[in-house]
């Protein structure tokens, strides 16, 4: 039986309210033993804490996601410190920069991102990073602050950008996009990258793989990602399953 880790799934999302128990059941049957659940805003923290208290396979991360900038207030940064003092977390996340959506003010995003990188370093926690049209700035910011570890989730950059992240000791989170044959650049990175830098993710309920196009995504679908990556690398799926779960254990310390 495979032992898989979904390193990124928003299973607290209201889209799972109708069948969350069944979703966990399907994940368990597919061999998903651990699921990292990143936060999006302050309001999501208690929801995620409650979920992870009830489900030991769900591992919480707390943070302020760049896409939800309108919901954030400066005082939420201090609230995050307070929350991390009294609640177990495996990471600070989801944090990052999104220069794709024009309504998100870059200066405000930068402030939340930098402050949360400092919080992660102060608490000795890894970061779960969202980078869209912002890969170079995300990398240079993390390099400047230093003393960080973590994962760039749903990595979609070039091989050169990936190499800069590996130099910093960062992991790449790979999910549904790699299952599409047209994703040539990403597939080349995933086929040749160091195995010890690889994490699997679904990003549920978003980013379904080619076999589930247009559907709500969920952790059980991680198996499709696993099989595509194993095929690209020419190894057995169990090799990728074992290595990526080891990587997740090392990074998130569970």
Site residues for Zn ion per CB under 5 A? 94
Residue placing its CB nearer to Zn ion in the complex, 94 or 224: 94
State in angstroms the smallest separation of the CB of 19 from Zn ion. 20
Rank residues 130 and 149 by Cβ distance to Zn ion and give the closer one. Answer: 130
- Closest among 95, 105, 89, 90 to 63, alpha carbons compared: 95
CB 92 within 8 A of CB 115: no
Q: Which is nearer to Zn ion, 115 or 217 (CB)?
A: 217
Q: How many other C-beta atoms are found inside a 10 Å radius of the C-beta of residue 46?
A: 13
| Bridge partners for 38 per DSSP | 61
Residue with the closest Cβ to Zn ion?
94
In the complex, the smallest distance separating the C-beta of residue 10 from Zn ion, rounded to whole angstroms, is 6
Smallest separation (angstroms) from Zn ion to the CB of 238: 27
Nearest CA to 145 out of 80, 79, 92, 85 is that of 92
Distance CA 5, CA 243 (A): 10
CB of 249 to Zn ion, least distance (A): 20
Instruction: CB nearer to Zn ion: give 94 or 218.
Output: 94
């Amino acid at each position: 039986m495979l032992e898989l880790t979904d390193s990124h799934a928003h299973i607290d999302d209201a889209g799972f309210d109708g069948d969350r128990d069944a979703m966990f059941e399907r994940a368990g049957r597919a061999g998903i033993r651990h699921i990292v659940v990143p936060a999006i805003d302050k309001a999501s923290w208690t929801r995620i804490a409650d979920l992870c208290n009830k489900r030991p396979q769900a591992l919480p991360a707390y943070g302020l996601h760049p896409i939800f900038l309108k919901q954030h207030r400066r005082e939420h940064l201090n609230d995050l410190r307070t929350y991390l003092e009294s609640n177990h977390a495996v990471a600070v996340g989801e944090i990052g920069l999104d220069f794709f959506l024009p309504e998100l003010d870059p200066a405000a995003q930068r402030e939340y991102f930098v402050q949360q990188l400092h919080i992660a370093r102060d608490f000795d926690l890894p970061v779960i990073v969202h980078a869209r049209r912002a890969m170079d700035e995300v990398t240079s910011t993390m390099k400047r602050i230093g003393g960080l570890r973590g994962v760039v989730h749903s990595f979609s950059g070039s091989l050169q950008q990936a190499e800069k992240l590996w130099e910093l000791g960062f992991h790449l989170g790979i999910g549904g996009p790699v299952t599409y044959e047209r994703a040539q650049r990403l597939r080349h990175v995933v086929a040749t990258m160091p195995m010890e830098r690889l994490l699997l993710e679904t990003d549920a309920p978003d980013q379904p793989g080619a076999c589930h196009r247009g559907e709500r995504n969920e952790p059980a679908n991680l198996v499709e990602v696993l099989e595509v990556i194993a095929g690209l690398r020419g190894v057995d799926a169990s090799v990728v399953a074992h290595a990526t779960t080891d990587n997740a254990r090392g990074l998130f310390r569970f």
